[in-house]
């Protein structure tokens, strides 16, 4: 049975030119631009996803996955005098958006788990190993191994402490791809230890 499932998943992945053959993509998702969906090894996107990636890319790197109901929005509507917003085309945006402000790539690094019904907005960058809680709305950069919840998404903790992150990375990544120890410790202090009171207040029932 598992071999049949693997064949089915490979057939589905083959519909997306930039999806790795080991990625698992539900048939019940909507993707505006299949060429702008880039999926690494052993990634998955569950049912109900809506990926609005017309002029920018949605990139999910190796061993990351998203639960049901993912919403990805890589761009904003453009307002043009004399046109209803629904009549503004991608060609209009390409012609007028010279600064690239309306559409930006969304990047999900390795080993990221995205909970159900999460929204990722243009320019979001989710760091390696992060956990995005169900219903979160992400619009900024999330540091590696952070746990975020809410709208807007806020950091409420880290998956591992610094020593555990260092040990984890040593087992999984070549030395030149590991996150520097100084960066790991700085993130843990800046986003967690120095904000414990604020975090406790935020998550208190």
Residue among 7, 17, 61 nearest 39 (CA)? 61
pLDDT digits (tens, 9 = 90+) for 72-120: 999 988 888 998 988 888 888 888 887 778 899 999 999 999 999 999 9
* CATH fold for the domain made of 2-159: UDP N-Acetylglucosamine Acyltransferase; domain 1 (2.160.10)
**Residue 64 pLDDT:** 99
Percentage of residues of the chain with pLDDT beyond 90: 78
Per-residue confidence (pLDDT) for residue 130, from 0 to 100: 99
Chain-centroid distance of CA 98 in Å reads 25
* Distance separating the N- and C-terminal Cα atoms of the chain: 44
Q: Two tokens at 30?
A: 């909507």
Q: Where are the beta strands (DSSP E) in 90-153?
A: 106-108, 113-114, 119-121, 125-126, 131-132, 137-138, 141-142, 146-149
**Domain positions in the chain:** 2-159
Residue pLDDT, tens place only, 46-62: 999 999 998 899 999 99
Q: For position 2, what pLDDT does the model report?
A: 63
pTM of the entire predicted model: 0.92
Asked whether residue 12 carries a pLDDT value surpassing 90, the answer given is no
């Amino acid at each position: 049975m598992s071999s049949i499932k693997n064949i089915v998943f490979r057939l589905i992945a083959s519909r997306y030119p930039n999806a790795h053959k080991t990625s698992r993509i539900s048939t019940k998702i909507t993707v505006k631009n299949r060429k702008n969906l880039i999926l690494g090894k052993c990634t998955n996107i569950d049912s109900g996803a809506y990926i609005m990636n017309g002029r920018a890319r949605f990139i999910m790197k190796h061993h990351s996955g998203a639960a049901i109901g993912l919403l990805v929005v890589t761009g904003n509507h453009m307002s043009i005098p004399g046109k209803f917003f629904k009549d503004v085309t991608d060609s209009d945006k390409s012609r007028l958006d010279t600064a690239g402000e309306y559409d930006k790539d969304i990047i999900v690094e390795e080993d990221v788990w995205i909970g159900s019904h999460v929204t990722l907005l243009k320019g979001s960058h989710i760091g390696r190993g992060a956990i995005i809680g169900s219903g979160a709305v992400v619009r900024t950069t999330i540091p590696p191994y952070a746990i975020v919840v809410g709208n807007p998404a806020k950091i409420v903790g880290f998956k591992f402490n610094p020593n555990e992150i260092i040990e984890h990375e040593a087992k999984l990544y070549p030395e030149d791809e590991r996150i520097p120890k100084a960066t790991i410790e700085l993130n843990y202090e800046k986003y967690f230890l120095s904000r414990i009171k604020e975090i406790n207040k935020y998550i208190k029932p």
